[in-house]
Amino acid sequence: MKIFVYLMLLSLLCGSVEMSPIAEGGRFVWDAARGAWDMYRAYRDMREANYIGADKYFHARGNYDAAQRGPGGAWAAKVISDARERWQSNSGRGAEDSRADQEANEWGRSGKDPNHYRPAGLPKQY
């Protein structure tokens, strides 16, 4: 019982004080990890849907979901998106397609609705 009271008091004290730099760093890393998972989930859904014209939607959705996690999630989304586009541009895909993908990435990261890129007929589960 005593430990429960101590934990309650500690949580009240910590809630009223700004986060320490270590806690902020930990939060950034946690948000980045969760944002990377959001990016993976969007990629997995894109592969599963296999729907022509949905690429930009999944780019926007992955970046949007990751950025909603906070600065760490937005950072992870940018790093992953930039690396993916760099790799794809080196693999022979066109610069125009890469530019359009990056536009969708930035759209989602900025908090705008990813459904802007949603193609008609894409199943509702996505």
Percent of residues, the chain, with pLDDT higher than 90: 69
Cβ atoms of residues 67 and 77 within 8 Å: yes
Number of H helices, E strands in the chain: 5, 0
Model confidence over 65-114: pLDDT tens digits? 999 999 999 999 999 999 998 888 776 667 888 899 999 999 999 999 99
Q: Give me the domains of the chain, ranges plus CATH numbers.
A: 25-117 (1.10.132.110)
Distance CA 88, CA 78 (A): 15
Residue holding tokens 């989602």? Answer: 108
Model confidence over 5-19: pLDDT tens digits? 544 544 545 554 567
Model confidence over 34-72: pLDDT tens digits? 999 999 999 999 999 999 999 999 999 999 999 999 999
